[in-house]
Structure 1
Amino acid sequence: MPELHSKSDTLINVKFRNVHFTEHSLSLLSNFNNLKHFEIWYCDGLSSNSCKILLNGDFPNLKRLHLGCSENQDLITAFLDKIGPSIIQLGLNIITDGTIKAILNNCTNLKDLQIIDYHPMDHPGFFKLFHGLKGLEKLRIKISPDNKHYEKMILWARIGAHDLPISLKYLKLECGLPIYQLKRFLDSRNNKVTPHLSTLIINDLNFDYSHMEIISDFVKKRGILKVLGIGGPTKFTWRTLREFKTLREKYHVHIIPKDDLDQW
């Protein structure tokens, strides 16, 4: 941290992962007034008192905030209470009544929400959250492949197209995605749900042609998708490659190369 403190006036992006914070290090961090992008993932030393030390900082330029602190809801809500109106991108690994309230009350300009490694069986609060985010344009849901809930997280969440914000333009799903759940996300018959969805990225280790059929049907019937990215399997089947070609040539959908998915 002392090395970083010497750059406190110039650093705009900082990411901490598996770090043990002390009150002294958090005090130094509170002076990083020019931060635009700040991430804390799986760190400890973040007690209620130490959080107050960190939040003594102003962070007037902060636009992108990622807090992977499932054991410390107080840090998340305190951060959002303080700087929520300036945040346009938010990443979390926990959804509770407290975090939902803090997001909806404070993050009035939020455009990009990322939910990472969150297991919703005990608190499927997505409905209330999504219904309250009237201006959300980008949604990313990611579960690490080694997470024991990789295959079931989305299914338990019970999210459907009707639950997504009507303003949504970009949807990125990096998780196990059962066929039934994908059908719920991509409603090809109702033009009133996700009317602005133009970018879809799916990264599922078990992706197969059955998934591709649902996506193709959505593209052809709705006519709104402009960008498609598919990851997961090492190689695509010839039928999937054929669908890519059809969507690209006949429906003018840009197919993102698999190696470029992380850039989107």
Structure 2
Amino acid sequence: MHRGFNFGAFTDGKATQPIPNSVEPHEADLATFRDSCHKLCRKLLLLFGIGLAVDPPSFFTEAHSPDKASGSILRFLYYPPPNAIPSAQEVDVRAGAHSDYGSVTLLFRLKGQAGLEILTPTDGWAAVPVCPPGTEKDPLPPILVNIGDLLSYWTNGLLRSTVHRVTFASSGANKNAAGLTDGESTADPRYSIVYFCHPANDTPLTAVPSECVHNSRSGLATANAGNPYAERKVLTAEEHLKMRLQATYLEMYNNDGHEQKE
């Protein structure tokens, strides 16, 4: 119940893929925006490196060189309003439950356009306000940051990827029960921009040089119970992405794991 368009890499301000004619006048701006997103992700990854006492702290940042090929993409998303989908029910979802494949994800949303929910460890699904308390007067909503599967895999499950979905949660009388804040609704179209940040394709996902991560195998044994990223073999970033894509889009792959061709 949504539509999207992915932008891959840009070179000298030009997309390396065919793009719609309507987008061409904004090509250079999109390239600059994508570059800014990647720089912000690298800053966040540096903070993760510092927080986890990784040696060196720039371990994650260096693996996300903007000059190397990677799975990083910029995605524009459009979710039609419920009244444009005659069969839509309030219990339906606009985007099913999932976690992101990469290291970190940046999500940009518009004020008033609710629907995002995260799966919490104790209370189940919880709505994520577009403008959390204290940010209502900010000119733009804050950027939402998700941890992705790869960063969870890389840290033996110490950092957990965020499971989330987009719903048709009630925008009427029951909006408070649905977790919506004043001024937010799911009755209108929903637009968002997402940047999925991945390491360079040839990055080996070797053990993170961090005592925090190393000790998490025993110290967080309970927390890691059932965590698919707590134990892993060494893959490259590209192999990890293909593994996640195959798990999600199984019908697109043959039994031998190779992508089917149309």
The two structures share one fold, judged by TM-score above 0.5: no
* Higher relative contact order (Cα pairs below 8 Å, separated by 6+ residues): 2
- The TM-score with structure 2 as length reference comes to 0.25
